[in-house]
């Protein structure tokens, strides 16, 4: 069935192409974005810890998923910054505002990680 724009369904070949483009995006983020590399390294530690400490499937999803959201938002922020830089590196108030808001979005999701981990694991740490 065609979507609203008249595109045909992707099929297996289209899904594979999309996956390839996604891998290229992850590679570009790894090569060019130090914040993304740091967040991946943190996830490499926190992901297994969240899996181990999560008492239920829901807790594991919340602990690990909150970290994955940070990575996803970092990718969005980096892509937006790349588009802004494409049009020039000179300072523009709106470009600066957009970059600051993208950074703030990553920060908000980092605070979400702290909240989720504190609410789920804090009582266990405090009450043994």
CA 62 to CA 120: how far, in whole Å?
9
Residue 14 confidence (pLDDT): 84
> What burial letters (b/e) apply to 94-110, b meaning 16+ CB within 10 Å?
ebeebeeebeebbeebb
- Whether 11 and 66 map to the same domain: the answer is no
- Whether 15 and 49 map to the same domain: the answer is no
User: Average pLDDT in the 94-117 region?
Assistant: 97
- Whether 84 and 25 map to the same domain: the answer is no
Number of domains in the chain: 2
- Whether 106 and 80 map to the same domain: the answer is yes
Cα 71–chain centre separation: 2
pLDDT at 15 over 60: yes
Residue 10 confidence (pLDDT): 73
pLDDT band with cut points at 50, 70 and 90 for residue 113 = very high
Range of the domain at 2: 1-32
- Whether 9 and 43 map to the same domain: the answer is no
Beta-carbon count within 10 A of 21 CB: 10
Phi, psi of 116, deg, nearest 5: -60, -50
> Model pTM?
0.88
Residues designated as active site: 74
- Whether 86 and 52 map to the same domain: the answer is yes
- Whether 16 and 1 map to the same domain: the answer is yes
pLDDT at 2 over 60: no
pLDDT band with cut points at 50, 70 and 90 for residue 90 = confident
- Whether 75 and 116 map to the same domain: the answer is yes
Residue 89 confidence (pLDDT): 82
Residue 79 confidence (pLDDT): 97
Joined together, the tokens standing for residue 90 give 């000179």
**Which contiguous run of DSSP H or E holds residue 44?**
helix 34-53
- Whether 122 and 95 map to the same domain: the answer is yes
Residue 3 confidence (pLDDT): 57
């Amino acid at each position: 069935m065609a979507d609203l724009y008249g595109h045909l369904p992707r099929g297996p070949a289209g899904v594979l192409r999309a996956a390839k483009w996604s891998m290229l995006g992850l590679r570009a983020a790894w090569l060019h974005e130090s914040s993304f590399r740091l967040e991946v390294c943190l996830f490499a530690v926190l992901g297994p810890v969240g899996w181990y400490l999560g008492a239920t499937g829901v807790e594991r999803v919340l602990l690990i998923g909150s970290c994955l959201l940070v990575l996803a938002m970092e990718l969005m922020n980096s892509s937006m910054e790349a588009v802004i830089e494409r049009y020039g590196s000179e300072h523009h108030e709106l470009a600066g505002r957009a970059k600051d808001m993208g950074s703030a979005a990553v920060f908000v999701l980092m605070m979400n990680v702290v909240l989720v981990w504190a609410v789920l694991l804090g009582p266990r740490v405090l009450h043994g």
